[in-house]
Amino acid sequence: MTEERRSAKRHALWVPVELRQGEDVYMLAVSRNISFTGVLVIVGAALGEGERVELTISVPNADDRKVMGDIVRVQVNDEDPDGLWKYLLAIHFEEAVPELEAAFEKLEARS
């Protein structure tokens, strides 16, 4: 998605994110940037573009938030292609979570 098409401000925040697909797939990820409409995460294993995942986003000083999302882009992480965080996944949330914006703003101000 191009910057012009984004409807929400992206925050360059590194927060823990858990990804789930049913009972079989569970992985930890870390956000690279995040908004109340989606997130770019780094992960150790690739999932497929178009796949649906449940995310648990852990923002300090806020309640964990579960959201559903669709993977819209998968690419190799050029900064760590052979390491623990090999892939980037861009995930668009099924529903926007505008109440997270205040938590992102507060966390970004402390960085």
Over residues 45-82, the pLDDT tens digits come to 999 999 999 999 998 888 899 999 999 999 999 999 99
- CATH number of the domain enclosing 71: 2.40.10.220
Q: Alpha-carbon distance 99 to 108, whole Å? A: 15
Mean pLDDT for 23-32 is: 92
Q: Alpha-carbon distance 71 to 65, whole Å? A: 18
Residue 22 scores a pLDDT above 60 = yes
pTM of the model: 0.89
The three-class DSSP label of residue 66 is: strand
The per-residue b/e assignment along 24-36, b for 16 or more CB within 10 angstroms, e otherwise, is: eeebebebbbbbb
Q: Which value, in Å, is the radius of gyration of the alpha carbons in the chain?
A: 13
The H or E element containing residue 101 is helix 100-110
Q: What is the mean pLDDT of the chain?
A: 91
The whole domain housing 13 covers 3-110
Look at strands 87-93 and 65-76 and give their pairing: antiparallel
- What's the total number of domains in the chain? 1
